[in-house]
């Protein structure tokens, strides 16, 4: 996986533009949209923007930014009017590649918590797995219902300078954003009904129905009477809006740890009519906090004894405990090999080239060139614990270099990927901004890749950081069912 | 299916809001009454009954020591005092905390009402009160609470959760009405021999006004006889702040909630309250002693609260706990 360091990228010019061709003509699949915008004029667009924001505000589509105060700050979801359009032919390899990736990573988890063939065969170094903060040795030997570990994933996909799609991160723990994908669609359809008439856009709002079906399939007592519960850390969590949204959409109970109790290895809800047995737990809290008897003893968010109930086969936990080792950023460089190992197939989607800090010559070359690379802590997410070389100060680089040397297992480095750009309608002007894509994959008896996803936008000019917690925005994402609108 | 935690929070949310309303009403009516009074009975005597009604005489002494009972002090104590857990300000805060915990179960309008109530008035209530302005503040607070109930009535599903909202409101209301009657009656009618005679018109009118019942009473009874006031406030099934009205509504709310047990302790506690009322009419209340009657009623209310606690909020601890 050793890759030569790329020349310092100049963003903007090097980045692929989703909307314009190199000759500044709109790409074929954006032309109907473009013509409509030209005819509509700026006044109409601005009206539409106001309408969309009002809708989001009154519907209370918000997210919480962690601040120093106890309560956090609630912000209205930032939404850009212009949709991101993906043609049917562009989508096909994304869909195939994501399904392949989820299938292979699920096999990887079955293996590292089972026979550990891949470690014995030396395809993935054993010490890398054992040394991972999110490898849970406590659960080795437990087989989850249907053998599924990864029920829900939100895998981040970016478009490199050549327009090719790359997987940037596998999010296999409790990825969020799916409620915003759906809200974006609802707002977009209400705001731009005339655009929808011109395109045949594949639907995404059935996600909660797909998810509920996948969750019910896991019930140890059969799907018909399954009691499915969403476990939330509570109102102060940044994704609490999403937790309430999904619980409402699926018609399931939204519970906190203190609403649940385990007796004789069975999980119960405390209701006004006594204890009610729980079959499937869709948890939105991390492994660390899930069971104070098994993981962090100081956790007040989880449920004591729940891992034993899971081990006894009395409850399904979604995603299964222990999935964090498969999206560990230090394991990420090995995913193409993992796909080849278990499936005997070539990976459909490429990885971003990644330097392993545990390999000394890769590490030394990165540390000598920090200004031109991105360094990431392996177990952080949400845009935290990251150094973007070209935008960093000498002091930040020195701090990261010291941390990398002190704990190489904890870091990886990648070239700066000039994320593709898209048109945004910001303060009455059309501007180009960098974007990424988080499609959502549900694995039940079958794998469903929801056609679309959350397109995140770095709203600050030139910025490559798209996380909503760091001032990112979003776009509705249209996957076209019509093959007629060819790209390029 | 309703989580115990959610049920308990709904119940306390509406109990605390009812407490905001009734405490503000007590202070408001007392101030108005004092403005109208022709002869003064002394400041301490004017304000001590409010402390007695709220059951806070000891706490008041603990807060202010042996300092005299004055209007501004009592108003401060009942409205804004941080050390008084039953103050309007603390009740608002606790109503909001409980509402936040059930935010996904109540409508946006309900949440916004409770939230605004706290955000708008918490600072005002923390400052020392200006008695001249207190009447206006009390009135605003009451209308805010009424707005909440209006939104609830028009936006909340009539399910089990609604039942707990009603139980909290009417239990608190019955409790307060019984306390007001107990304290005021004792003060206004020192000698039971006077039961049938017309007494100080303004005093009795003030009592009825503190229950928003003055106009309704006047339509129903020709004169202000103590006997009729007791009959109206305790037994009139149409008067929304009467004990009978509250008990009837709690019985209906419990039927909506349902029970996992054949012998529901909550249902039993409510029917005991109903029986207590059924055995009484206006004159019977006085023969047995109104004070004794009200004490029995208040004990029944306390039993009902305990039964709700055991049967619903801590259902998982009970014997009939495991329904799988």
For residues A453 and A449, what is the distance between their CA atoms, to the nearest angstrom? 9
Domain termination residue (choose one: B125, B156, B187): B156
Same domain for B146 and B258, yes or no, is: no
For residues A359 and A411, what is the distance between their CA atoms, to the nearest angstrom? 11
pLDDT tens digits, chain B, 324 residues: what are they?
A: 899 999 999 999 999 999 999 999 999 988 888 877 666 678 888 888 889 888 888 899 888 888 888 999 999 999 998 889 999 999 999 999 999 888 888 988 899 899 989 988 888 888 888 878 899 999 999 999 999 999 999 999 999 999 999 999 999 999 999 999 888 887 777 666 665 555 567 778 888 988 989 999 999 888 888 888 888 999 999 999 999 999 999 999 999 999 878 889 999 999 999 999 998 877 777 777 888 999 999 999 999 999 999 999 997 776 444 444
What was the pLDDT predicted at B171?
A: 98
CB-closest option in B103, B164, B322 to A274? B322
User: B154 phi and psi, to 5 degrees?
Assistant: -100, -5
**Nearest Cα to Cα of residue A257 among A310, A304, A314:** A304
For residues B295 and B32, what is the distance between their CA atoms, to the nearest angstrom? 28
Cβ separation of A272 and B324 shorter than 8 Å? no
For residues B142 and B138, what is the distance between their CA atoms, to the nearest angstrom? 6
Q: Measure B119 CA to nearest chain A CA, in Å.
A: 14
Classify B219 as helix, strand or coil.
helix
Cβ separation of B315 and A248 shorter than 8 Å? no
What was the pLDDT predicted at B269?
A: 97
Cβ separation of A272 and B257 shorter than 8 Å? yes
User: At how many degrees (to 10) do helices A178-191 and A207-216 cross?
Assistant: 150
In this structure, the number of other CB atoms found within 10 A of the CB of residue A58 comes to 10
B164: which chain A residues are within 8 Å (Cβ-Cβ)? 272
Same domain for B7 and B148, yes or no, is: yes
Q: Residue holding tokens 């029944």?
A: B300
Q: Residue holding tokens 């012998």?
A: B263
What was the pLDDT predicted at A483?
A: 63
- Does B257 touch chain A if contact means CB atoms closer than 8 Å? yes
What was the pLDDT predicted at A71?
A: 46
A247: which chain B residues are within 8 Å (Cβ-Cβ)? 104
Question: What is the rounded radius of gyration, in angstroms, for the C-alpha atoms of chain A?
Answer: 23
Same domain for B144 and B162, yes or no, is: no
Reading the block at residue A396, the tokens are: 């930040």
**Nearest Cα to Cα of residue A480 among A440, A439, A451:** A451
Same domain for B169 and B44, yes or no, is: no
**What's the half-sphere exposure (Cβ side, CA atoms, 13 Å) at B319?**
5
Is the sign of the CA dihedral A233, A239, A245, A250 positive or negative?
negative
Q: Residue holding tokens 């940044």?
A: A238
Domain count, chain B: 2
Greatest CA separation found in chain A?
68
Q: Enumerate residues 6+ apart whose C-beta is below 8 A from A305.
A: A262, A265, A291, A293
User: A200 phi and psi, to 5 degrees?
Assistant: -100, 100
Check: CB of residue A70 under 8 Å from CB of residue A236.
yes
Cβ separation of A268 and B7 shorter than 8 Å? no
Helices marked H in B189-241 — which ranges?
Answer: 201-209, 214-220, 226-230
For residues A468 and B294, what is the distance between their CA atoms, to the nearest angstrom? 59
For residues B49 and B183, what is the distance between their CA atoms, to the nearest angstrom? 7
Domain termination residue (choose one: B156, B174, B189): B156
User: A419 phi and psi, to 5 degrees?
Assistant: -50, 145
Q: Residue holding tokens 């007494």?
A: B199
Identify the domain containing residue B218 by its residue range.
Answer: 157-324
DSSP E strand boundaries for chain B:
322-323
For residues B172 and A126, what is the distance between their CA atoms, to the nearest angstrom? 64
Q: Enumerate residues 6+ apart whose C-beta is below 8 A from A133.
A: A324, A328, A378, A379
Same domain for B150 and B172, yes or no, is: no
A277: which chain B residues are within 8 Å (Cβ-Cβ)? 324
Q: Enumerate residues 6+ apart whose C-beta is below 8 A from A446.
A: none
- Does B92 touch chain A if contact means CB atoms closer than 8 Å? no
A259: which chain B residues are within 8 Å (Cβ-Cβ)? 3-5
Cβ separation of A235 and B100 shorter than 8 Å? yes
Domain termination residue (choose one: B133, B156, B179): B156
Cβ separation of A275 and B323 shorter than 8 Å? yes
For residues A178 and A452, what is the distance between their CA atoms, to the nearest angstrom? 10
Check: CB of residue B318 under 8 Å from CB of residue A274.
yes
In this structure, the number of other CB atoms found within 10 A of the CB of residue A44 comes to 12
Q: Measure B24 CA to nearest chain A CA, in Å.
A: 29
Same domain for B190 and B179, yes or no, is: yes
Surface-to-core class of residue A81, CB atoms within 10 Å of its CB (0-12 exposed, 13-18 middle, 19+ buried): buried
Classify A316 as helix, strand or coil.
strand
Q: Residue holding tokens 């009017």?
A: A81
Same domain for B26 and B63, yes or no, is: yes
Q: What share of chain A is helix, strand, coil (3-state, %, to 5)?
A: 35, 25, 40
Check: CB of residue A190 under 8 Å from CB of residue A180.
no
Same domain for B315 and B291, yes or no, is: yes
Same domain for B225 and B271, yes or no, is: yes
What was the pLDDT predicted at B182?
A: 87
CB-closest option in B1, B257, B313 to A253? B1
In this structure, the number of other CB atoms found within 10 A of the CB of residue A302 comes to 27
DSSP B57-106: HHHHHHHHTTPPP-HHHHHHHHHT-TT-TTSHHHHHHHHHHHHHHTGGGS
pLDDT tens digits, chain A, 488 residues: what are they?
A: 333 343 333 444 589 999 999 888 999 999 988 888 888 788 888 888 888 888 777 766 766 666 544 445 666 778 898 999 999 999 999 999 999 999 999 999 999 999 999 999 999 999 999 999 899 999 999 999 999 999 999 999 999 999 999 999 999 999 999 999 999 999 899 888 887 877 889 999 999 999 999 999 999 998 678 999 999 998 888 888 899 999 989 999 999 999 999 999 999 999 999 999 999 999 999 999 999 988 888 888 899 999 999 999 999 999 999 999 999 999 999 999 999 999 999 999 999 999 999 999 999 999 999 999 999 998 766 667 889 888 899 999 999 999 999 999 999 999 988 899 999 988 888 899 999 999 999 999 999 999 999 999 998 887 877 776 666 789 999 999 876 554 43
Cβ separation of A247 and B104 shorter than 8 Å? yes
B267: which chain A residues are within 8 Å (Cβ-Cβ)? none
Reading the block at residue A481, the tokens are: 């069912």
Tell me the count of A-B CB pairs closer than 8 A: 69
Q: Give chain B's end-to-end CA distance (angstroms, integer).
A: 12
B5: which chain A residues are within 8 Å (Cβ-Cβ)? 256, 258-259, 270
Same domain for B133 and B173, yes or no, is: no
Check: CB of residue A279 under 8 Å from CB of residue A219.
yes
Task: Give the helix/strand (H/E) hosting B49.
Answer: helix B43-53
Check: CB of residue A434 under 8 Å from CB of residue A448.
no
For residues A347 and A285, what is the distance between their CA atoms, to the nearest angstrom? 31
pLDDT tens for residues B35-61?
A: 776 666 788 888 888 898 888 888 998
Reading the block at residue A312, the tokens are: 């006894």
ipTM above 0.85, yes or no: no
Same domain for B141 and B161, yes or no, is: no
**Nearest Cα to Cα of residue A294 among A265, A271, A272:** A265
Same domain for B96 and B122, yes or no, is: yes
């Amino acid at each position: 996986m050793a890759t030569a360091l790329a020349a310092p990228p100049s963003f903007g010019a090097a980045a692929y533009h989703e909307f314009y061709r190199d000759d500044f003509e709109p790409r074929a699949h954006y032309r109907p949209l473009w013509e409509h915008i030209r005819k509509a004029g700026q006044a109409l667009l601005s009206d539409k923007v106001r309408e969309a924001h009002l809708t989001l505000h009154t519907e209370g589509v918000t997210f919480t930014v962690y601040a120093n105060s106890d309560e956090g700050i609630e912000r209205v979801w930032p939404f850009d009017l212009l949709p991101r359009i993906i043609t049917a032919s562009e989508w096909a390899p994304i869909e195939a590649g994501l399904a392949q990736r989820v299938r292979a990573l699920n096999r990887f988890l079955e293996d590292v918590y089972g026979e550990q063939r891949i470690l014995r065969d030396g395809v993935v170094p054993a010490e890398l797995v054992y040394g991972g903060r999110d490898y849970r040795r406590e659960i080795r030997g437990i087989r989850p219902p249907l053998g599924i570990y990864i029920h829900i994933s939100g895998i981040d996909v970016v478009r490199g300078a050549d327009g090719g799609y790359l997987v940037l991160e596998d999010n296999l723990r409790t990825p969020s954003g799916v409620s915003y994908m759906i809200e974006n669609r609802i707002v977009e359809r209400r705001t731009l009904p005339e655009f929808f008439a011109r395109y045949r856009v594949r639907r995404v709002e059935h996600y909660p129905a797909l998810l509920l079906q996948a969750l019910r399939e896991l019930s140890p007592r059969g799907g018909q009477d399954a009691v499915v519960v969403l476990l939330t850390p509570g109102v102060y969590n940044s994704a609490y809006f999403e937790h309430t949204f999904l619980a409402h959409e699926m018609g399931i109970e939204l519970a906190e740890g203190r609403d649940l109790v385990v007796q004789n290895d069975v999980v119960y809800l405390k209701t006004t009519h006594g204890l009610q047995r729980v079959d499937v737990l869709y948890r939105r809290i991390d492994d660390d906090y899930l069971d104070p008897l098994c993981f962090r003893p100081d956790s007040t968010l989880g449920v004591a004894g729940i891992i034993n109930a899971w081990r006894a086969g009395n409850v399904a936990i979604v995603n299964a405990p222990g999935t964090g080792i498969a999206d560990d950023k230090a394991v990420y460089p090995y995913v193409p090999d993992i796909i080849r190992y278990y499936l005997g197939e070539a990976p459909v989607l490429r990885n971003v080239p990644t330097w392993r800090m545990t390999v000394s010559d890769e590490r030394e070359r990165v540390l000598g060139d920090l200004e031109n690379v991105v360094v990431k802590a392996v177990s952080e997410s949400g845009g935290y614990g990251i150094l973007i070389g070209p935008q960093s100060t000498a002091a930040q680089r020195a701090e990261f270099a010291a941390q990398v040397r002190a704990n190489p297992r904890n870091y990886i480095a990648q070239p700066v990927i000039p994320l593709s750009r898209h048109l945004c309608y910001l303060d009455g002007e059309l501007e180009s901004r960098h974007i990424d894509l988080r499609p959502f994959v549900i694995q039940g008896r079958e794998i469903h890749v929801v056609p679309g996803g959350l397109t995140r936008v770095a709203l600050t000019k030139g910025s490559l950081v798209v996380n909503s917690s760091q001032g990112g925005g979003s776009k509705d994402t249209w996957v076209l069912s019509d093959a007629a609108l060819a790209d390029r | 299916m309703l989580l115990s935690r959610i049920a308990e929070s709904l119940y306390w949310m509406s109990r605390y809001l009812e407490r905001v309303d009734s405490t503000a009403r007590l202070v408001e009516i007392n101030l108005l009454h004092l403005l109208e009074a022709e002869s003064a009975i002394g400041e301490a005597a004017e304000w001590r009954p409010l402390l007695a009604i709220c059951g806070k005489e000891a706490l008041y002494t603990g807060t202010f020591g042996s300092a005299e009972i004055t209007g501004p002090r009592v108003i401060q104590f009942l409205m804004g005092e941080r050390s008084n857990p039953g103050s309007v300000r603390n009740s608002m805060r606790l109503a909001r905390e409980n509402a936040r915990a059930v935010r996904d179960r109540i409508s946006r309008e309900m949440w916004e009402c409770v939230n605004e109530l706290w955000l708008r008035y918490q600072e005002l209530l923390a400052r020392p009160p200006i008695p001249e302005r207190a009447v206006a503040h009390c009135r605003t607070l009451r209308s805010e609470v009424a707005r909440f109930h209006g939104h609830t009535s028009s936006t909340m599903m009539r399910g089990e959760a609604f039942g707990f909202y009603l139980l909290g409101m009417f239990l608190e209301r019955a409790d307060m009405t019984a306390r007001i009657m107990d304290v005021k009656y004792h003060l206004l009618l020192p000698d039971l021999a006077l039961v049938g005679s017309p007494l100080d018109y303004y005093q009795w009118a003030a009592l009825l006004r503190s229950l928003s019942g003055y106009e309704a009473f006047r339509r129903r009874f020709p004169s202000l006889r103590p006997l009729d006031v007791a009959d109206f406030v305790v037994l009139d099934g149409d008067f929304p702040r009467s004990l009978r009205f509250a008990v009837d509504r709690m019985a209906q709310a419990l039927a909506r909630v349902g029970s996992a047990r054949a012998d529901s302790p909550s249902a039993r506690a409510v029917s005991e309250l109903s029986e207590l009322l059924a055995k009484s009419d206006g004159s019977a209340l006085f023969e047995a002693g109104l004070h004794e009657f009200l004490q029995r009623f208040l004990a029944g209310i306390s039993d009902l609260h305990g039964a709700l606690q055991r049967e619903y909020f801590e259902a998982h601890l009970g014997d009939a706990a495991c329904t799988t």
